[in-house]
Amino acid sequence: MSKLKTLREQKNLTQEELSERSKISVRTIQRIESGTEPKGHTLRALAQTLEIDESLLLKEEVIIFPENNEVTTEVAEEPETINYSLVKMINLSSLLFVIVPPLNILAPFLLMFFMKQRNTLTKQIVSLQMFWTAMAPIVFMLGIFLKLGKEFTLILMILIVLSNVLMILRNAAEIDRKKKLYFKLKFSML
């Protein structure tokens, strides 16, 4: 049952009565009761007419206790909607900045928000890049302390970069095939 319908019925109002009192069309009330989220003037007018806080009509589940007519809310958990092609693009964005470590974190992080893909997969992609960016200098410093020469240091730098490229490409392939990540952490840094 929709939030507005529950609150309207609690006040013993029909859609037409609510429409008359709030000066909002019956059709708009029907749309809101079927899932459209009210905004602006409509939200204010309905909240004022029902004598409730505007937040009660927004992305929250209304629970009414009949014994005392008390109204409380709980945040309704929305199921994660994952667009795998966007997740793959977010993953591959790290590839563009693999040589400039801070940007290999920033690019997928920003894309995650702009593309509205804040889900476990994208958080894991950003966390993996953060972990790699933290570990790469440690491995490089260990290589320098071994004092095996300039050639070894150059090869080590190339291997560090290639490891990230391999990780990004393998995850992209796994997103295509199985809709999950091949390389992932057992924890999230976000």
Res. 137 pLDDT band, cuts 50 70 90: very high
Question: What pLDDT, on the 0 to 100 scale, is given for residue 83?
Answer: 87
- The yes-or-no verdict on residue 18 having pLDDT over 80 is yes
Torsion angle of the four alpha carbons 30, 31, 36, 42, in this order, in degrees rounded to the nearest 10: -80
Domains defined for the chain, CATH in brackets? 3-75 (1.10.260.40), 84-178 (no CATH)
Question: What pLDDT, on the 0 to 100 scale, is given for residue 64?
Answer: 54
Is residue 35 within 8 A of residue 45, CB to CB? The reply is no
Neighbours of 129 (CB within 10 A): 28
Res. 77 pLDDT band, cuts 50 70 90: very low
Condensed to tens digits (0 to 9), the pLDDT of residues 35-53 reads 888 888 998 898 899 888 8
Task: Write phi, then psi, for 131 (nearest 5 degrees).
Answer: -65, -45
Condensed to tens digits (0 to 9), the pLDDT of residues 78-132 reads 445 788 899 999 999 999 998 888 899 999 999 999 998 888 899 999 999 999 9
CA distance 190 to 187: 9
CA distance 152 to 14: 79
Q: What is the mean pLDDT of the chain?
A: 85
